[in-house]
A and B are shown apart, each in its own frame.
Chain A
Amino acid sequence: MAFQSFHYVVFFLVIFGLVRGVFRDNHDAKKNCLLAASYYFYMCWDWRFAGLIFGITLINYIIGQKIADATDQPKKKAWLTLSLVSSLGILAYFKYTNFFIDSFNTLLTNLGVETSLPLLSIILPVGISFYTFQSISYSLDIYRGRLKPVSSLRDFSLFVAFFPQLVAGPIVRASHFLPQLEEGYKEEQKNPVESGVALIIRGFIKKIAIADVLAVHIVDPAFASPGDYSPWFLLIALYAYSYQVYMDFSGYTDIARGTARCLGFELQINFDRPYKATSIGDFWRRWHISMSSFFRDYLFYGLGGSKYGNVYVNLFITFVAIGVWHGAGWNFVVYGICHASMIAYERWRMNRRKAAGLPPLEYTGLHWIWRVFWIFTLVSLTRVLFRGGSLDDAWLYVEAMTNFTNTHTPIGLVGGATLLIATALHYTPSKWTFEWKNIYCRMPSWLQAGVIVTTTYLVVAFSTGTAPFIYFQF
């Protein structure tokens, strides 16, 4: 059930009516309703995997309790290991089995062995990377003493399966979400429903009117047959893809956060204008924050961070894991290595400056503009690995970017204008975003209705009807 479908609108309105109306004063009924709705939402994608999500939920619920009950550290560690092995094992089976088989076959071929193992017919359950990580964060937090186990299986199940963020995040921490399930929890927002709707409207505009348009007019044609276009078109397409993936994913996050807020829950911010970053490290602090902070807290720090062991090795392991989290392919491994290398270089430079007694670099004025553009360009160039289906595809694209004899640059009015709008929107002051929410909340009902109707018609006009959110594949 896609957010941009008629079915979702009806589904959301029914759940909203039940949660905010019928079960307004019945806390248990509200949670039961949300849990049932979340499983129904997931089953609309593929009913067979409802058992899988429940299985992962049950494993981590039981193990979380066992970790808390364990009297000594080795036992706690053993239970945690079981949680990680079982949860990540399930994820690995669905996501990486064919990658390993394929890589093994390539190795055999290179060694001159003729036999090859057949690939398995495995369907990747939508959202598996998100809810698996969400589940294991619970066990990890209990193990580290940051969280007490939740007594209710229903509450824990709702935390794992909560439908607004189920299929593409943000990856919610148990310590952030579970307290919101307690009776008497006070909502953070003054106007939760109106500000939630404002977020949803913004998300739809980002997704349908910007991301999907960039895809249709620039990105998809460029990646479909890079050899047909000029290097300039291909370079613009990389920048356009950077905006597409940002608008797509942050649009999804806005809709997820807006939906959750309308239902009385607050999900964490996932993006902070990532293309305003002045370093690659800064970029990862602004991009997909719930995922990058997960890897930072549970893997990078777990490996020793910058205090124990070799920080550069820890960085490489973390970023390769981030790359592979996105997909099973060598292109994602190389993507991780590229980013790890750039961050390692930044850290090395920073350490040298520190050793020389120099202050950290600060960018202002034109220097800031140039720096932001440079980092945006570096990030966009590595996106060729992210968007291309394989290393070969990425290489074909890079090769075509050096063919200066081709001058075919078919950027039309719609594609060009959308790219400019995306750029302008991204670089507007952040406070304007918050201002939009306030403006919407202050509007009279009839004007709010006009905004919603206009957005609905925009969605109909721009929607290709075939473009799922990019991060659904992860």
Chain B
Amino acid sequence: MLRKSRNTLVITLALLLLIEIALQVRSHIRFGQSVFNALANETTYQFNEQLGIKLLRPNHTLAGSNAVITTNALGLRDDDLESPKPENQYRIALVGASTVMGTYTRNNGDTLSYQLQDILNNSLDKTSRPMRVINAGIAGYSLQDQRKIVDNLLSKLDVDHYILYTGFNDLGGYCKPSQSAAEKDDYSLPTLALPKWLLTTELITKNTVALRTSLAKSQALLNPQDVDKSEFSHNLEALLQSLKRTEKPVLVIGNAAAFRRDMPQEQQANLSETARYYNGCFDTAGLLTLYDAHNDMIRTASEENGMRFFNLQSELPGGEEWFGDSSHFSVKGNKRVAEIIAAKIAPDLPNNKE
């Protein structure tokens, strides 16, 4: 009687394990990233104690059939920077998170920074100084992380110009109860949770968002007007202050999303799936309102700090052609965004002023 149950249990655990291993292998083959990296002590990211920030593993290549990420000595997805800076070189740092780092890009050449550098050096043909665009985006970076990379790393690289594309990572915090509030009323014993690196759960939950979200508005969702945006505002101001202290020109870009209000409901729902996966307490309409509110805050703060601002949301169309998911650009999107940024930044580049 119990032997059969024991066999069932063993086979169940073996099946769950095998499926997870298969997914990890698949991820390793396609993207060069999996739990095996950690087992081989070759994690994709490393915390740089000296600089106090998380960066990519320096001088490393994460090679998969779908994407190759090559990092430089600094731990950025970029080629090595010459040191000291060549006399005539004009350095632009593109600061941000995963969108800047290049999610959905096959290699470093597809990234936004590389595309921008290419356009500035070749297509515009208006500058005499060679342009070097630094990819200063690391996936998962919040505004605080972006401030740290400006203060602790970029400030030492003799950057001439900054471009800021913050991304949406800070919005995820609205869906999590604040640490203090959660701890205050918590008298439960500690419990075990599934490890975050499990691909089985990530794959299932990411692809089944529609099952867990309604066409109608639910009471479980937050009203974007009601969320406390003071922390975002504070962190944004701190980041802009750091950039201001560099006394270099700064171009701030409002964030763009793949889904738009003028699209049919179903298309909006499809395109917003990953955004709703990461920000489960908002529906599609709520996310759009939230994005607008944050872009307004970014615009106001930039203008107050004397920085140039433009909203990419109104310059780049939505849809699958330009976006790989809810917020990350496709390869084609990266090229288009690079063209838009190049056109916006061109008047401020040294040669045009001359």
Q: Mark A445-465, 1 if CB is under 8 A from B, else 0.
A: 110111011001100111110
B211 touches A224 (CB 8 A): no
A457 to B211, CA, bound (A): 13
Of chain B, the residue at the smallest CB distance from A44 is B189
Contacts of A412 in B (CB 8 A): 214-215
A461 to B208, CA, bound (A): 6
Contacts of B4 in A (CB 8 A): 194, 445
- Among B8-16, B128-136, B329-337, the one that faces the other chain is B8-16
A45 to B185, CA, bound (A): 11
A46 to B188, CA, bound (A): 4
| Cross-interface CB contact of A220 among B12, B201, B218, cutoff 8 Å | B218
B187 touches A415 (CB 8 A): no
Contacts of A453 in B (CB 8 A): 12, 15-16, 19
B212 touches A462 (CB 8 A): yes
- From known contacts A224-B218, A446-B11, infer whether A213 and B189 are also in contact, taking CB-CB under 8 Å: no
B192 touches A415 (CB 8 A): no
In B1-26, the 8 Å CB interface with A consists of 1-2, 4-5, 7-9, 11-12, 14-16, 19
| Cross-interface CB contact of B8 among A47, A228, A414, A452, cutoff 8 Å | A452
The size class of the interface chain A forms with chain B is 35 or more
B193 touches A6 (CB 8 A): yes
Of chain B, the residue at the smallest CB distance from A45 is B188
Of chain B, the residue at the smallest CB distance from A228 is B217
Of chain A, the residue at the smallest CB distance from B214 is A217
A287 to B257, CA, bound (A): 49
Interface: B213 (CB within 8 A): yes
A448 to B10, CA, bound (A): 11
A410 touches B189 (CB 8 A): no
Interface: A216 (CB within 8 A): yes
A460 to B1, CA, bound (A): 30
Interface: B191 (CB within 8 A): yes
Q: Mark B188-215, 1 if CB is under 8 A from A, else 0.
A: 1101111000001100110010111111
Most A CB contacts (10 A, CB to CB) among B15, B218, B220 go to B218
| Cross-interface CB contact of B187 among A46, A228, A456, A466, cutoff 8 Å | A46
CB distance from A202 to the nearest CB of B (A): 16
- From known contacts A40-B189, A450-B15, A452-B8, infer whether A462 and B208 are also in contact, taking CB-CB under 8 Å: yes
Interface: B219 (CB within 8 A): yes
Interface: B40 (CB within 8 A): no
Contacts of B1 in A (CB 8 A): 191-193
Contacts of B215 in A (CB 8 A): 217, 410-412, 415
Contacts of B194 in A (CB 8 A): 6
The size class of the interface chain B forms with chain A is 35 or more
B204 touches A457 (CB 8 A): yes
CB distance from A116 to the nearest CB of B (A): 25
Contacts of A213 in B (CB 8 A): 211
Interface: B39 (CB within 8 A): no
Chain A residues touching B, majority SS: helix
| Cross-interface CB contact of A449 among B15, B191, B204, B214, cutoff 8 Å | B15
Of chain A, the residue at the smallest CB distance from B205 is A460
Interface: B216 (CB within 8 A): yes
B216 touches A456 (CB 8 A): no
CB distance from A49 to the nearest CB of B (A): 8
Contacts of A225 in B (CB 8 A): 217, 219
A460 touches B201 (CB 8 A): yes
Of chain A, the residue at the smallest CB distance from B266 is A412
CB distance from A356 to the nearest CB of B (A): 50
A414 touches B204 (CB 8 A): no
- From known contacts A220-B214, A457-B204, infer whether A7 and B8 are also in contact, taking CB-CB under 8 Å: no
A192 to B191, CA, bound (A): 28
In A416-474, the 8 Å CB interface with B consists of 445-446, 448-450, 452-453, 456-457, 460-464, 466
B217 touches A5 (CB 8 A): no
CB distance from B27 to the nearest CB of A (A): 18
B192 touches A6 (CB 8 A): yes
Contacts of B8 in A (CB 8 A): 194, 197, 445, 448-449, 452
Of chain A, the residue at the smallest CB distance from B194 is A6
B220 touches A220 (CB 8 A): yes
| Cross-interface CB contact of B214 among A44, A47, A221, A445, cutoff 8 Å | A221
A414 to B15, CA, bound (A): 29
A461 touches B211 (CB 8 A): yes
Interface: A20 (CB within 8 A): yes
B219 touches A221 (CB 8 A): yes
B12 touches A452 (CB 8 A): yes
Of chain A, the residue at the smallest CB distance from B192 is A7
A461 to B71, CA, bound (A): 35
Of chain A, the residue at the smallest CB distance from B195 is A6
Contacts of A193 in B (CB 8 A): 1-2, 5
CB distance from A464 to the nearest CB of B (A): 5
Of chain B, the residue at the smallest CB distance from A464 is B212
Contacts of A452 in B (CB 8 A): 8, 12
Contacts of A354 in B (CB 8 A): none
Interface: A96 (CB within 8 A): no
A47 touches B189 (CB 8 A): yes
A223 to B19, CA, bound (A): 40
B216 touches A410 (CB 8 A): yes
A47 touches B217 (CB 8 A): no
CB distance from B9 to the nearest CB of A (A): 8
A43 touches B219 (CB 8 A): no
A355 to B118, CA, bound (A): 98
CB distance from A384 to the nearest CB of B (A): 16
Interface: A120 (CB within 8 A): no
Contacts of A450 in B (CB 8 A): 15
Residues on B lying within 8 angstroms of A by beta carbon are 1-2, 4-5, 7-9, 11-12, 14-16, 19, 187-189, 191-194, 200-201, 204-205, 208, 210-220
Can you report 18 A-B residue pairs in the complex whose CB atoms are below 8 A from each other?
A6-B193, A40-B189, A194-B4, A194-B5, A197-B5, A216-B214, A216-B218, A216-B220, A217-B214, A220-B218, A223-B219, A228-B216, A410-B216, A412-B215, A450-B15, A452-B12, A453-B12, A462-B208
Given contacts A48-B187, A453-B16, 12 further A-B contacts (CB under 8 A): A43-B189, A193-B2, A224-B219, A414-B210, A414-B211, A415-B215, A448-B12, A456-B16, A457-B204, A460-B200, A462-B208, A464-B212
Residues on A lying within 8 angstroms of B by beta carbon are 1, 5-7, 10, 13, 20, 40, 43-48, 191-194, 197, 213, 216-218, 220-225, 228-229, 233, 410-412, 414-415, 445-446, 448-450, 452-453, 456-457, 460-464, 466
Closest 10 CB pairs of A and B: A224-B219, A221-B216, A449-B11, A7-B191, A445-B7, A461-B208, A410-B215, A193-B5, A449-B12, A410-B216
